Structure formats: C-alpha cells, structure tokens
Structure 1
Amino acid sequence: MQQDKTAPDAPAAVPMGVYVDPKAMDWEPTGLPGAFRKVLYDDPASGRSTVLFRMEPGGVIPFHEHPELEQTFVLEGSLEDDQGACTAGTFVWRPAGSRHTARCPHGATFLVFFMKPPKRLPQS
C-alpha cells in the first residue's frame, strides 16, 4: 500500500514521500525458476528501480550485464558468483559494465537498487 504525503504549501502533484509496505505486497514471479520479487520503486523513464528479491535454494540468475551501477544488500541467505559471496547483512555494489551469473545455493532474500535494468547475455 502506498500513501502520498504532500506538503501543505507544495503543489498538489508533488509528493513529499511515498510509503510502501512490502509485507502487504504479494511476491510476483520473475520468470526465473524459484525467483520472486516485490517492486518497491520503478521509474520506467530513467530505468531506476528498487526491488526486493526472494530466491529459493539452488536459484540462479543467468549471465547478465549491469549497464549502470547496481547495489545489493542481502537480508537472508547468500548471493554468490565467481568473485565471492554476499551473505546476510552484507552489501555488494557492481560498476557499470560488470557481468556475472549469480547463484543462491541456500536461498536468499535481498534488496537491489538498479540505475538501469540488467541485460541478459548469452552464456559464454
């Protein structure tokens, strides 16, 4: 559920904040086996988004590229690739142009901030 809070003296179309309650949102399938998401923020014009992901044990995010900065905070489980593992309570950011395949061997819940959506690539 989202609520707009508009300043009393601000134009009616300019919200001061949009409150989002992820607990009240349904998990939606991502199209990947065992992967679900809740889109907390999405701006199609810029490509920016904030997404809460849940991956079941053994879940894989296929080889992809981040065209812009990507930031991930892992809440539960681990998100792993050839560079290392981001575990519960840790954060990883990836610069524009970074490529990887991400795995969740034990499952994971993580929050991702995208500046642009990732591009799926053929496995090399």
Structure 2
Amino acid sequence: MPNKDTPSWKIAGKNGVQGPVAGSQYYCADTDDWQPTTTPGFWIKPLFEDASRGEKTMLMKVDPGAHAASHTHEGELEQLFVLQGSFFDQNRTLNVGDYCCRAPDAAHSAGSVDGAVLMVVYTRR
C-alpha cells in the first residue's frame, strides 16, 4: 500500500510524447510550464508516457529547501539523473552528473537545499 505522502507523478493526458511511438517524435519542454505535484516545491514536465508498458519519463524541478518525507513508488523502478543543482535522499547528496537507481517499493526521502532539476524515469515491473 502506498504511503500517504507518496508524491503524485501521474502524467497521463498532459503534454509530452504519448506512447506507443512509431519512428521519431519530438517535444519541446521549454514551451510548457512546470506542473505542480502534491508535494510542495516539487514540479514536473512530462516528456514521455506509455501507460500500457508502465513507462514514464519527466523532468523534475525541486525548489530550494523543498523536502518530501519518506515514501515509495509502488511497483515502479525509479531512475534519477541530476541535470542542475543538487538533490538529496536519506543516504547522500547527488550533484550534477550523478545517477541513482531505486528498486520498486524502496522507501526514500527526497529534497534539495539549493534547488535542482533532474531527469526521472519510472518503469513499472
């Protein structure tokens, strides 16, 4: 059962590329606004989703000082890559170029002291 503090990263029906994809499809995220999540200070820009395959990719912006309490992403493998700033969980701080891969249902906290932008990929198992 998901933790009540689980951030909402649902992106179906929003901008970005919707799967399945045939050939090459392009999307310019710069033209869209950041979408708020249910966790204050966490924002997303959907890049891709194929709900039938359980795949979604997004940009995530974390405001300076924002923090999400311990939570899980039920049944989803989570991959994070830091593009700007720094981002922390309960174990360490990730800086530009750092990558984290989290097993499905792995409990973790999240936040940023000075702000961050990450690429986030979720894959449902």
Distance verdict in 2 for CA 1:14–1:94, change over 3 Å: closer
Distance in 1, matches of 2:21 and 2:30, equals: 26
1:36 aligns with 2:40: no
User: Which of 30, 46, 59 is the matching residue for 2:53?
Assistant: 46
Distance in 2, matches of 1:63 and 1:94, equals: 13
- Give the structure-1-normalised TM-score: 0.76
* 1:23 Cα deviation after fit: 1.0
Specify the alignment match of 1:61 in structure 2: 68
Q: Which runs of 4+ in 1 moved over 6 A?
A: none
Structure with higher Rg: it is 1
Q: Equivalent pairs: percent with the same residue?
A: 33
Give secondary structure in 2 for the equivalent of 1:69.
strand
* 1:2 Cα deviation after fit: 6.7
- 1:53-99, Cα deviation, whole Å (9 max, x unpaired): 11110111232223232111001111111211111121111122311
Number of aligned residue pairs: 108
Which segments of 5 or more consecutive residues in structure 1 lack a partner in the other structure? 4-12, 117-124
Distance in 1, matches of 2:24 and 2:51, equals: 19
User: Which of 64, 82, 90 is the matching residue for 1:82?
Assistant: 90
1:18 aligns with 2:25: yes
Q: Which has the higher strand share?
A: 1
Query: Please, what is the CA RMSD of the aligned residues?
Result: 2.4
Which segments of 5 or more consecutive residues in structure 2 lack a partner in the other structure? 1-14
Distance verdict in 2 for CA 1:45–1:88, change over 3 Å: same
- Give the structure-2-normalised TM-score: 0.75
